[in-house]
Amino acid sequence: MKLKHTRFQLLLELICLLLLLAMFAFVSAKWQNLPEKIPAHFNAAGEIDRWGNKDELWFLPGISVFLYGLITAVTFLPAIWNIPGKIKEENIPAVYTCTKTMLIALKLEVILVFFTITYFMTIASPLPGWFTPFFLIFVFGTILCGVILTVRKGRQ
Give average pLDDT by consecutive 10-residue segment, the chain, 156 residues: 88 97 96 94 93 95 97 89 76 87 96 96 94 94 90 78
CB under 8 Å to 18, separation ≥6 — which residues?
A: none
Domain count, the chain: 1
What is d(CA 44, CA 96) in angstroms, rounded to the nearest whole number? 34
In a domain, 91, yes or no: yes
Does residue 83 lie within any of the structural domains? yes
Q: Whole-model pTM above 0.85?
A: yes
Considering the domain boundaries, does residue 105 fall inside one? Answer: yes
- Predicted confidence at residue 85, as pLDDT, reads 66
Residue 2, domain member (yes or no): no
- In a domain, residue 1? The reply is no
pLDDT tens figures, 76-87: 888 888 776 677
For residue 70, the enclosing domain spans: 7-28+38-155
- What pLDDT is attached to residue 81? 83
Pure H helices in the chain: 7-30, 59-75, 92-122, 131-155
Q: Which residues pair with 53 in a beta bridge?
A: 37
How far apart, in whole angstroms, are the C-alpha atoms of residue 35 and residue 54?
7
